[in-house]
Amino acid sequence: MNAADLSRSEQHAYDAARFSEIVGSAAAEDWARPSPVAAWTALDVVTHLVEWSRGFLAGSAGMHLAPLDVAADPAAAWKTHTADIQGLFDEPAGRMISNPHMGDKPLDEALSEIYTPDIWMHSWDLSRALGRDFDLGADRAAATLAGAAAMEDAMRASGQFGPRVEVPADATPQEQLLGFIGRDPYWRP
């Protein structure tokens, strides 16, 4: 599937569904497994995606979605969260965000820029935590890396990305992107 051919809503639905498959495949004991994100477990990956986006919506759009207990049932929380966010993509209703880092922009545009890619990249983290591989897609990884490289200083200053992990010169686009965002692309639990 080519990400460039999808609408914002379709891209979110696609990435969220792929993440849902990973979440749904986890057994109860898997949630305590370490992830490639330093000091995070598999559960922390899901919790991050749910909590930061709901906090972002509250702070930047005045939208207060019901809190979810991710630890009690990660799959149910993720399912509810995905439906909540997909509803915002499917019916944006002129909603806007106002954020000091992004300025004022349509809610679906802002979510498409920062939240959907987060699901996509954290799909690799959760897959690896569960001992599986995940293909980010060479074209999308290369395009994301090209865009991110242009704003590397701002990304590093945000504190949201770890130091670059060096990869071989012949690394795949996925390996290059993972190294760029501070992940060891060869990490195993």
Inside any domain, residue 109: yes
Per-residue pLDDT of the chain (189 residues; tens, 9 = 90+): 566 689 999 999 999 999 999 999 999 999 999 999 989 999 999 999 999 999 999 999 999 999 999 999 999 999 999 999 999 999 988 999 998 888 999 999 999 999 999 999 999 999 999 999 999 999 999 999 998 888 877 776 777 788 889 999 999 999 999 999 999 999 998
pTM, entire model:
0.94
In a domain, 189, yes or no: no
Residue 155 in any domain: the answer is no
Q: What is the pLDDT of residue 141?
A: 97
- Contact criterion met (CB below 8 Å) for 93 and 125: no
What pLDDT shows up at residue 102?
85
* 82 in any annotated domain: yes
Residue partners of 43: CB distance under 8 A and separation at least 6: 31, 32, 70, 71, 74
Q: Is residue 81 included in any domain, yes or no?
A: yes
Q: How far apart are CA 189 and CA 183, in angstroms?
A: 13
pLDDT score at 1: 58
- CATH number of the domain where residue 48 is located: 1.20.120.450
Whether 150 maps to a domain, the answer reads no
Question: Which pLDDT does position 92 carry in this prediction?
Answer: 86
> What's the pLDDT at 154?
76
Q: Which pLDDT does position 163 carry in this prediction? A: 86
Q: Which residues of 87-101 are buried (b: 16+ CB within 10 A; e: fewer)?
A: ebbeebeebebeeee
Residue with tokens 């990435």: 15
Position 153 scores a pLDDT of 76
Q: Residue 19 domain-assigned?
A: yes
Give the Å distances, CA to CA, from 66 to 77, 83, 134, 188. Answer: 11, 12, 31, 35
User: Where in the sequence is the domain holding 71, given as residue range(s)?
Assistant: 3-134
Number of domains into which the chain is organized: 1
**Residue 105 covered by a domain:** yes
Residue 180 is predicted with a pLDDT of 93
Distance CA 49, CA 65 (A): 14
Residues 112, 127: contact at Cβ < 8 Å?
Answer: no
Cβ 148 vs Cβ 181: under 8 Å: yes
- Tens-place pLDDT, residues 86-114: 999 999 889 999 988 889 999 999 999 99
